[in-house]
Amino acid sequence: MKIKNIKSKKLFSDAKKLMPGGVNSPVRSFKAVGGIPHFIAKGDGPFIFDEDNNKFLDFTCSWGPLILGHNNKIVKDSIKEVIEFGTSFGTPTKRENILAELIIEAVESIDKIRFVNSGTEATMSAVRLARGFTGKDLIIKFEGCYHGHADLFLSNAGSGLATFDQPSSPGVPQSVVDSTITLDFNNIKQVENAFKKYKNKIAAVIVEPITGNMSVIKPKNDFINGLRELCTKNNSLLIFDEVMTGFRVKHGGAQELLSVKPDLTTLGKVIGGGLPVGAYGGRKEIMSFIAPEGPVYQAGTLSGNPISMSAGIATLKQLKNDKVYSHLKEISKYLSDGLKNISEMHSYPLIVNEYCSMIGIFCTDNTINSFKDITKTCIDNYNMLHRYFLDNLIYFPPSAYEALFLSTEIKHHHIDHVLDTFQKFCIEQKN
């Protein structure tokens, strides 16, 4: 099936004259998968509609926040209500209290919280706080885990174990990443060795407990628990980056699912109901180091703005219903099991990792435990699959490194369409 994209093609051509690469975030350009990005005009339920009026079944959900689907009436009405009284004040508002209470009630590890404007701001601030609280400088992160585009996170591991990183983007000073150590996800032995090598120097370990930006990779049984033990033993903080997983894989986040309690947690995506927002929170004694209560400075003119707070409140109140997560879990398993069964039937190389409404698809037979396991073949095959699905009006993330996100609006018959399409794809590949 060949879909039309005349208007999108023209808009993309115009956009490239106005913005770098024609986009405001690189993955939107479709450079990774090939082709022209579709300019979206509207969303409704499980669907997005482009400027050429193509109707796609959406598995990006605005990269995660739209867990209730597009144009949710309750969320939309809450936004309409708040903008009747203004859009921004730069002062405290009642809605900040309400959203904070909803988050603290849901996430056991959070006693106090600070709202910011993005996931990047949240992780930057959490790392600064960890350094200020511990009096140490070094940070451990893991290759393939995405924590935003702050300088300290844009680094690659050095050539040896637990060596200092190299900048992975021009504009990032070596001096900034000299305090960052990048290790392999799911390799607890490397972390143990790093703590031995840099004794009493590591402020924190930051990790996506379930990854979303090298697609979905599950932690090994000993990995997350091992991080908790090592941080406790060495008086370092464990930071869970739950910008993607928070309120998505479970009401209390990945930490509830994995039964591991971090010292600090970063949040975003879902807590804004589709509007820009981020947050970080943790134990009271740690959060008390944040200004104006403590010495660690962090501020934001538009932090806690009433529109994002209102959308977040409307979203999280709906997520208190247990039926939401039971549906998401069931429908995610239905999709992942279906893809696995079809791939086995047709001997098509496919690994599917699923965690309640987050799904990772790897077009390979190889075991996937870390970033290094994602091969070029895996990526090339995903790109081919992506184009096939797009031509059949199914919108998967335009990068093999991104997770699929499901919304409550996705039903069994929608999944059946995906599975039928995948079956046809496998048959065509055979032939």
Query: What mean pLDDT, rounded, does the chain reach?
Result: 94
* pLDDT for residue 173: 81
Strand partners for 113:
281
Q: Are residues 343 and 407 in the same domain?
A: yes
Q: How many domains does the chain contain in total?
A: 2
Residue 33 belongs to some domain of the structure = yes
Q: Is the dihedral of CA 39, 271, 72, 256 positive or negative?
A: positive
* pLDDT for residue 256: 96
Q: Are residues 242 and 160 in the same domain?
A: yes
How many angstroms separate the CA atoms of 21 and 311, rounded? 31
- DSSP assignment of 340-352: HHHHHHTT---EE
* pLDDT for residue 163: 42
Q: Are residues 38 and 165 in the same domain?
A: no
Query: What Rg value do the Cα atoms of the chain yield, rounded?
Result: 21
Q: Which of 390, 381, 384, 329 minimizes the C-alpha distance to 358?
A: 329
Q: Are residues 62 and 85 in the same domain?
A: no
Does pLDDT of 371 surpass 50?
yes
Q: Are residues 145 and 83 in the same domain?
A: yes
Residue 1 belongs to some domain of the structure = no
Contacts of 294 (CB under 8 A, 6+ apart): 132, 288
The one-letter amino acid code at 35 reads G
Q: Are residues 63 and 77 in the same domain?
A: no
Residue 223 belongs to some domain of the structure = yes
Q: Look at residues 280, 298, 318 and tell me which one is the last residue of a structural domain.
A: 318
The answer to whether 115 and 277 are in contact (CB under 8 A) is yes
Retrieve residue 320's tokens: 């208190």
Residues marked as catalytic: 146, 241, 269
Strand partners for 42:
49
Q: Look at residues 279, 298, 318 and tell me which one is the last residue of a structural domain.
A: 318
* pLDDT for residue 167: 67
Does pLDDT of 135 surpass 80?
yes
- DSSP assignment of 191-239: HHHHHHHTTTTEEEEEE-SS-SSSS--PPPHHHHHHHHHHHHHTT-EEE
DSSP 165: P
Q: Look at residues 253, 285, 318 and tell me which one is the last residue of a structural domain.
A: 318
The 10s digit of each residue's pLDDT in 80-105 is: 999 999 999 999 999 999 999 999 99
Residue 266 belongs to some domain of the structure = yes
* pLDDT for residue 159: 34
Retrieve residue 131's tokens: 């350094």
Give the structural domain span for 63.
Answer: 6-67+322-430
Q: In what order do the strands lie in the sheet with 351-355?
A: 351-355, 358-362, 404-405
Q: What is the CATH number of the domain that holds 194?
A: 3.40.640.10
Q: Are residues 209 and 331 in the same domain?
A: no
The 10s digit of each residue's pLDDT in 162-195 is: 345 566 778 888 877 789 999 999 999 999 999 9
Q: Are residues 18 and 161 in the same domain?
A: no
Q: Please state, for a pLDDT cut of 70, what percent of the chain lies above it.
A: 97
Q: Are residues 38 and 132 in the same domain?
A: no
**Max Cα–Cα distance, the chain, nearest Å:** 67
Does pLDDT of 1 surpass 70?
no
Strand partners for 155:
167
Q: What does DSSP say about strands 358-362 and 351-355: parallel, antiparallel, or unpaired?
A: antiparallel
175 or 225, which is more confident: 225
Residue 267 belongs to some domain of the structure = yes
Strand partners for 280:
114, 266
Q: Are residues 98 and 229 in the same domain?
A: yes
Q: Are residues 36 and 148 in the same domain?
A: no
Retrieve residue 73's tokens: 């009436």
Q: Are residues 261 and 334 in the same domain?
A: no
Q: What does DSSP say about strands 202-207 and 138-142: parallel, antiparallel, or unpaired?
A: parallel
